[in-house]
């Protein structure tokens, strides 16, 4: 239950950060770097690779 509560707080912080960044008109690439801080280090590299593959 404690783990689930921590996960929920992290999700809410992520949502608030995203909404705030969009409202401020932040550059999408800067926003991507900010949001990557919410990912575990092991998954951060795979996000960049997936984006490169999609382009």
Instruction: Grade residue 51 by pLDDT with cuts at 50, 70 and 90.
Output: low
Residue with the bigger pLDDT between 20 and 54: it is: 20
Examine the pLDDT at 4 and tell me if it is beyond 70.
Answer: yes
Residue 2: what pLDDT? 86
Domain ranges of the chain: 2-54
Task: Give 11-48 pLDDT, tens digit per residue.
Answer: 999 999 999 999 999 999 999 998 898 888 888 777 76
14 by Cβ neighbours in 10 Å (0-12 / 13-18 / 19+) ranks as middle
């Amino acid at each position: 239950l404690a783990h689930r509560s921590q996960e929920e707080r992290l999700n809410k912080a992520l949502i608030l950060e995203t909404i705030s960044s969009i409202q401020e008109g932040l550059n999408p690439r800067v926003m991507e770097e900010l949001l990557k801080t919410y990912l575990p280090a092991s998954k951060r590299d795979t996000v960049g690779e997936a984006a490169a593959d999609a382009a």
